[in-house]
Amino acid sequence: MRHIVRMAVSRRTSSNKASTKISNAVPAPERSAAARVASLLLANSKKRQGIVQVIDADGKRLELPQALADVMYQAAELLAEGRPVTVLPDEEMLSTQAAADILNVSRQYLVRLVDTGELPAEKVGSHRRVRATDVAAFKVARDAKRVSALDRLTSLSEEVGGYELGTKLSQGET
């Protein structure tokens, strides 16, 4: 069961500046605290076969279900990296703009993906809605294709000595 899918969300602004920072980036103290939480959750799950407990202000202990501990760990990991986190239910229906933001594509391109059947969607009145799990699955498949293509390009470059050319030129050879 997936609880959090690593979906980076770009924050678009009206200007086209390439170096625009994410407006709600995670501050350093919060990243540090999140890293400590992730470390504790990971260490605790290894020691006690996945048992995670929280203690409330009155000293009462509560054992967390594994699914919740997994969500907390993944969220803490992402926050530690400085990446904002949003938790959505698997069945959450997203607007085409929200889905496009998650995939870091234009809304028009996303609509084209829906219209060609590459991304399943439902019509609600005159609006298209995309299930969060479908967006996540599409992103995973798309990213896997990209990695595969980059691996093939790297392999081809190595076969023709493309990487050696850069080292020869940097050593003063022509």
Q: What is the pLDDT of residues 118-128, one digit of tens each?
A: 999 999 999 99
pTM, whole model, 2 decimals?
0.59
Per DSSP, which regions of the chain are E strands? 52-55, 61-64, 93-95, 122-124, 127-131
Q: CB–CB of 77/26 below 8 Å?
A: no
User: Rounded to the nearest 10 degrees, how much is the dihedral formed by the CA atoms of 35, 37, 42, 43?
Assistant: 110
Residue 22 located in a structural domain:
no
- CATH classification at residue 123: 1.10.1660.10
126 and 74 part of one domain: no
What pLDDT is stored for residue 12 in this prediction? 40
Position 22 confidence tier, pLDDT thresholds 50, 70, 90: very low
131 and 73 part of one domain: no
User: Using one digit for the tens of pLDDT, what is the confidence trace for 84-115?
Assistant: 888 888 889 999 999 999 999 999 999 999 99
Full residue range of the structural domain in which residue 71 is found:
28-80
41 and 71 part of one domain: yes
97 and 145 part of one domain: yes
* Tally of domains in the chain: 2
